Structure 1
Amino acid sequence: MQPHHASERPVRIRPFRRGFAGVSRHWFGGNAVATHLVNGLNLVFPSGERFFIQSVRHYEARITDPVLRQQIRGFYAQEGHHGHAHELFFEALRQQGYAIDGPLRFVDALLHRVAPRVMPPALRLSITVALEHYTALMAELPFDHPYFERIDPAVRELLLWHAAEEIEHKAVAFDVLRTVAPGHALRLAGFAVATAFLLPIWGTLTLSLLAHDDLPLGRLVAELRELAGERFVVELFADVLREYLPADFHPLQRDSYPRVVEFLSRFEAATPARWPS
C-alpha cells in the first residue's frame, strides 16, 4: 500500500454563520421520511463530535509528526464548529415543536458516561475512525446526487459545509489510530461496535420524529418508496463495507476532495478560512 498522510488534506477552520429562520418542517423537498432521516442523524452529531475529539485527544501526546499534530488541531476545530452549527439548527426543530432534548441527553449519556466506563481508549478511537468513515461517505451524497438539490437552501448549505469538512479531515483520526494502535482486528472491532451503535440509534431517532408528525401511513410508505428508489442508501452501505474491511484500507484511497473544491471556494469567499493555531 502506498503511504498516505494527513498532510494531503488541508484542515482549515470555516465558521458557519448562517441562520435557519423560516425553514419548513419537511425541508427535504416535502418528504418527511427523508427529512427526519437527516434530522435523526443530525441529533447524533454534537455529542458524537465531542466523542471524536476526546477519543483523538487521549492519544495526542503520543503523536510526534508535526504535520499530523497540526491536522489534529484542525480536526478539533472543525468538529467543534460542526456541533455548534447543528445546535443552532436544533433551535428551529424546537420551534417546530419537536421534543429533541430528551434524545440529545440520551445520546450524550451513552457516548460520554457509558462508553468511557465500558470501553478502553483504543476501542473508542477505533469507533471514531469507523464513524468518520461512515460520515465521509455520507458526505459525498449531497455533492453527487440531484435528489439533494430539493433541500431547503439554508439546510443544504449546512449539510454541504459539514460534508465538505468531513471529507477534508477524513484521514486524521485514522492516521492517529494507525500510529498508536495499528491492528486490523482492533479496527474491525471498532467498526462492529460503531455500526451496532449508529444504526439502531439513528433509526430510533428518525422514528420518534416521524411519530411526532403523526402522518398518514400511506404517505410515509410512498415517501419511503421514493427514497428507496434512489438507491444511494444501499450503494452507500455497500461502499462502507467493501472499502473499510480490507487490511490495507486507508481513507485517502478514495479521493473525494475534488467534489468539494468548488463549494469550499464559494464558501470561503463569504467566510474566509483560517489555519488552526
Structure 2
Amino acid sequence: MPLVSTGELVTKARAKGRGIAAFNVITLEHAEAIALGAERAGSPAILQISENAVKFHGGRLSAVAAAAAAVARASSVPLSLHLDHVESVELLRAAHPEGFSSVMFDASKLSYADNVKATAEAVRWAHERDIWIEAELGKVGGKEGEPPLDAHAPGVRTDPAEAAAYVRDTGVDALAVAVGSSHAMTERTAVLDHTLIAALRDAVPVPLVLHGSSGVPDEEIRRAVASGMVKINVGTALSTAFTGAVRGYLEAAHPTVVDPRKYLAPAREAMAGTVERFLGVLRA
C-alpha cells in the first residue's frame, strides 16, 4: 500500500472522534513490529523517527527512513512516516527528500517568543512543500538529556489562551500539549488533566497530540481521546517490550546464543503485541 500522509490519518481520526497512534521507530525490527501490530489490529498507524533515533544511526536519516518507508509500503493497512522531535533545521529540511509527510518541529526549549518565531519559519518552509507540522507548547518532560520534570509542577501545563495565540501566530497543523504525561515513563501511572484537555480542544482549531503515552493507563488514554486528544505518541512501551523479550530469552534459557535473530524475533513479536494492544485501546 502506498504511504499515506500523517495529516490525512489525523484528520480522519479527529472527524470520527477517535485517536491515531504514532509509534517510535529505532531499528528495522521496530518498523516491522509496528506494521505487524497494525495489521493484526486492522488499524492505521504512524511510524515516527525521532531526531535522537537519527543520531543513534550516526546522524544519517536516509537508511532508517528508507527502511521504515519500505515496511510501510508493504503493509496491508495505511501507515504514514513522521519525523519527530526535530530541533535541527537541517534535519527538518532533510525530511522532504526522504518522503516524510509530517514533522514535529520542537522549539519548546526556547523562550515563548523565540519558539513562535522559529516554528513559524519552519511552518512556512514546510507548507511550501506540503509537509504537515506539529509543534509543542508547555513542558512534556523526560526527553533524553533533560533533567527530570514533575508533570504536575506549576507552570508546566499548557495554557489554553497561550495555545490559541501560539497556533494563530505559527500556523502549525497540530499541537503537542502538556497535560500530565511525561516522556520515558516505564510505569503506567500518569494522571491526565482531562478538564484542561477539553479546554485546549475548545481553544485551538488544530488536533491535539499526547506525548509520553507509554506512561498513561488505558482508561486515561480513552478519556483523553474523548476529551479531545487525537495523535497518541508511544515510544518507551516498545522499548520496554523489546528489552524485556531479549533479556528474558537470553537470561532464562539461552545464555550461550550468539545469533541475534534468535532473540530479535521474540523482541519484534513483543513489540507487535504492544502495538496491537495500544491500537485496541484507541479502537474501544
Instruction: Please give the TM-score of this superposition, normalised by the length of structure 1.
Output: 0.27
Which structure's relative contact order is higher, taking Cα pairs within 8 Å and 6+ residues apart? 1
**Structure with the largest fraction of helix:** 1
Instruction: Please give the TM-score of this superposition, normalised by the length of structure 2.
Output: 0.27
**Structure with the largest fraction of strand:** 2
